[in-house]
Amino acid sequence: MAAPDEVLAAVLALLAQEHVLTLACHDAEGPWAAPVFYALDGEELVFVSSPRTRHGLALAASPRCAGAVHAPANDWQTIAGVQLAGEVRELGDEEATAARAVYERRFPFVAGGDAALAAALQRSRWYRLRLDSAVLVDNRRGLGARQRWVRTDAP
C-alpha cells in the first residue's frame, strides 16, 4: 500500500495532465453533473463558471461536491482517472485575479482577446475546489487498481 503522500502525488500528477472535470452537485431537483475546464493550483482546482448555471446555483447553496477526471481510454485496460470529493467556494476579487492567472497559464486562449469569451468571462465567477478525498483508478496496473487519499483535516 502506498503512503498517503505518494497517493496524493499520483492524484495531482493525473490532474495536472488533464483539463476537464465532471463536477457533480445536488439541488432541489436532484443530482447534477457539469463539465468544466479547470487548472490545478497546488492541491486545489480553479475554474470559471456562470453563477446562474444549475451547478453554480447548487454550489452556492451547498458547496460540497464530487467529481471525476479521466484520461482518454479506448478499452478497460487503459482507464485511468480520479474520483474526488471536496468543497467549492466562489472567490473574491483578489483571489479571483490570482486564480485567473493560474487558469491563463494553463489555457492561454483565455487571454487571447476573443470578444465572445471575454464577454462571457465578465458574467462569470471564479471558483476554487479544495480536494478532501480522492480515489486514483488505474487499470493499467490491473482491473480495479485503486488508491485512496483523504485529507487529514477534511470535514
Q: What is the pLDDT of residue 154?
A: 54
Residue by residue, pLDDT tens for the chain (155 residues) are 678 899 999 999 999 999 999 999 999 999 999 999 999 999 999 999 999 999 999 999 999 999 999 999 999 899 999 999 999 999 999 999 999 999 999 999 988 878 889 888 888 999 999 999 999 998 888 887 899 999 988 55
**Count of CB atoms within 10 A of residue 92's CB?**
10
Q: What is the pLDDT of residue 112?
A: 81
Give the phi and the psi of residue 11 in degrees, each rounded to 5. Answer: -60, -50
Residue with cell 498517503: 4
- Of 26, 67, 30, 70, nearest in space to 47 by CA: 67
DSSP structural state of residue 153 = T
The answer to whether 69 and 84 have CB atoms below 8 angstroms apart is yes
The answer to whether 143 and 76 have CB atoms below 8 angstroms apart is yes
What is each CA distance from 136 to 7, 74, 84, 113, in whole angstroms? 8, 18, 9, 37
Whether the full predicted model's pTM is greater than 0.85, yes or no, is yes
**Count of CB atoms within 10 A of residue 99's CB?**
21
Structural domains of the chain, with CATH: 4-140 (2.30.110.10)
Q: What is the pLDDT of residue 133?
A: 97
CA pair distance 61, 65, nearest whole angstrom: 11
